[in-house]
Structure 1
């Protein structure tokens, strides 16, 4: 098990490798946006499936949001973040270089995890996915994740704070005031406004 602290995790990320870290829902594999291809390689993930950009607070993510969706994004964020809600929004024209989607959208989330937030506060936003090999159910324990990703660094300390084991809810922005739920998950979104 390659357990590391935040300082070593930052060095790993800057070298182009991903790290594993806890979130409030499922453990994540994350990398700096310029190295997004590495997650697809480690997870054996279909490159047509986008990644989620995680931040530690809204001000880290808001510049990635297209002007047309900013007000709605801020409104939903104020109610559900930090938490297990992922918003899929149109990306800012200035930020398209980091996109992993084919439709100029970006999934954004701020996890309700002190460890994840502390890491991302230091690194800046990270492109992420759940820490599992694509097509297989992943483990929520450090020991289980080590079996899937024996060469990757895992952010400590352990034991990690509580992980629900349930995926985040995903909503997609269609137009001003119009959101759609595309995956029911940890957060029950009864009303979007």
Structure 2
């Protein structure tokens, strides 16, 4: 298993390669936004499926949110983050180079994981997906994930803190004050219409 500490993780990310790290839901594979193609390659993921941008706090992600959705984003983010909620909003015009969606939206999340947040404080936001080969159920342990991704570095120390093993709730911003549920998870959002 290729275990790395924070300094080695930064070096790996800056070289264009992904790392695997724990979150409060499922382990993630992540990379710096400018290297998003690498996750699709390692996961064998359909390029039409967008990735999620994770950060250590919601203020670090606000520049990715289009002006029209900022007020609603801040309202939801301040209530439900950190946690198992992914918020899909229109992307800021300044950040379209980091998009992996075809509809100019971006999925954002702040995990409720001390290890993930400490890593993200050092790296800045990372584009992420669950650490599994697309179409297959992945492991939730570092040892199991290392079998699927033998060449990808894994953020330590291990064992990782306990996670839920369930995917996050995903909500989509439709218009001011109006959210739609995309995927049900642990978090119940009472602002949905």
Per the TM superposition, whether the score is higher than 0.5 is yes
Q: Deviations over 1:41-64 (max 9, x none)?
A: 000000000000000001110000
The size of the alignment, in residue pairs, is 193
Q: Deviations over 1:81-111 (max 9, x none)?
A: 0000000000000100000000000000000
2:114 aligned residue:
114
Deviation at 1:169, TM superposition (A): 0.1
- Identify unmatched segments of 5+ residues in structure 1: none
Q: Hey, what's the Cα distance between the residues in 2 that align with 1:63 and 1:17? A: 24
8 Å Cα contact 1:25-1:164 kept in structure 2: yes
8 Å Cα contact 1:29-1:39 kept in structure 2: yes
8 Å Cα contact 1:54-1:109 kept in structure 2: yes
Q: Deviations over 1:102-144 (max 9, x none)?
A: 0000000000001111111111100000000000000001111
1:148 aligned residue:
148
- Confirm whether residue 2 of structure 1 aligns to residue 2 of structure 2: yes
Structure 1 segment 1-193 matched on structure 2, within 5 A: 1-192=1-192
8 Å Cα contact 1:72-1:176 kept in structure 2: yes
Give the structure-2-normalised TM-score: 0.98
How large is the RMSD of aligned CA atoms in angstroms?
0.9
Give the structure-1-normalised TM-score: 0.98
Deviation at 1:190, TM superposition (A): 3.3
